[in-house]
Every structure is written in C-alpha cells, then in structure tokens.
Copies of this chain bind each other. A is one copy, B any other.
Amino acid sequence: MGFEGADPGTVRPGGRTARVRSAVLRAAGDALAEHGFAHLDLADIARRAEVGKTTVYRRWGTVTSLVADLLVDMAEQSLPRTETGSLLGDLKANARLVQRTLADPRQGALFKAVVAAATCDAKTAEALHSFYDIRVKEWAPCVQQAIERGEVPDGTDAHEVIRAVSAPLYYRLLTTGDRLDEAAADQAAEAAAAAARAGAYLRGERGLA
C-alpha cells in the first residue's frame, strides 16, 4: 500500500515533473508581471504553461503557495557580486543592480507582486525572507572587508548596511510613483556608506547620543 500523503512531485522528480515545474513557474512569473498578484488565475497559468489546470491545482493549490515555490526558484539563481576595492564602490554596484532589477518593467512588477503575495500568507512570507537573506548574505562580505580596511568602525552590522542600500529603493518603488534611476541608486549607496562610516550600524547599543 504505502502512504498516500507524499505530495506529488516528490517521488519522481525527474523528467516530466521537472519540466512541468519550470514551465509553470515561468508562466507564473509572466502572469504576475502582467496582471499583478490580485488578478491572477491558475487556469490562465496552466494555459500559458501548456499544462492541465488540474496539475497546477494538485501541485500548488493556491496562488500564494505557487509564489512561494517561485521564490525558492528565484533564490537558487544567485548572481555573483562584483568587487571594486572600496565600500562605496561595492555598495554602488549593489544599488545599481537592485535599481536595474526594480526599474525593469517585468522584473519590477514581478517583485511588487511577490512582496504582495508574501503579505498574505505565512509560508510565502518565509520564502521571501529566505530569498532576501541569501541576497544579503551574498553582499555582506564587502562590508566586512571595509571594516578590515578601517573604512567603517569595528562592530558594524554588515547585513544591516546591505539592507540599508536596498531599503530606500524598495520604499520608493512601493510608496511613490517616481522612476527608479541611477541617481536614486547612487544616493542610496552614498547614504548607507556615510551612515556606516558614522557608526550608525554598530551592533547592540546605539553609537551616538
């Protein structure tokens, strides 16, 4: 007999199953970017992916858990970071990367939709958190190097500095209609670098009065 509980796709993950997953995730990304999170129809995704809608419902069930899986997939495709030799240079490179991503019509809409989905479901939120955790960890070493060079005070929270670069770009994307240009990216990087040098990101007790 055997347990019937194992979710589909776990016992025979090869060939067709993998093909279906990647086709559906690609279609889901396209649909999210086009229609946004709210007006999303699993049947439409199935059509785009050239897959039976029964399959989509069986394997993912809801829009939010499909987005959660999409985030797992996105987290796996990590871009290597560049190294410029100075904190400001590295942070600018990071800021420009984030800016280009969010300013791109498709990617920008996709990220908005993914954030929206994460606010609606705990599992999806967790997937989103891991995604950003990975990205932050990828870039944190550049701050560590700045500490070692003496550019930034010892005890600075490297992760917090990296988040400080992205934060204003996401805030702008979500709360204003303004375009995200290179100037915005550079400003974000310079602000984070200046604050880091001033000791604003010291771990534990706040540094200034």
In the complex, chain B residues whose CB is within 8 Å of the CB of A132? 175-176
Residues of A169-209 contacting chain B, CB below 8 A: 170-172, 174-177, 183, 186-187, 190-192, 194-195, 197-201, 206-209
Contact present for B129 and A176 (CB under 8 Å): yes
Give chain A's interface residue range (CB within 8 Å of chain B).
35 or more
The secondary-structure label for the interface of chain A is: helix
Is A1 an interface residue, CB under 8 A from the partner?
A: no
In the complex, chain B residues whose CB is within 8 Å of the CB of A197? 198
A residues adjacent to B (C-beta < 8 A): 36-39, 63-64, 88, 112-113, 115-121, 125-126, 128-129, 132-133, 160, 163-164, 166-168, 170-172, 174-177, 183, 186-187, 190-192, 194-195, 197-201, 206-209
Q: Can you report 26 residue pairs joining A to B where beta carbons are below 8 Å apart?
A: A36-B121, A37-B116, A37-B120, A38-B120, A39-B120, A115-B116, A115-B119, A115-B175, A118-B174, A119-B174, A125-B177, A132-B175, A133-B176, A163-B171, A164-B191, A167-B168, A167-B171, A171-B171, A186-B206, A187-B201, A187-B206, A190-B198, A190-B200, A190-B208, A191-B192, A191-B200
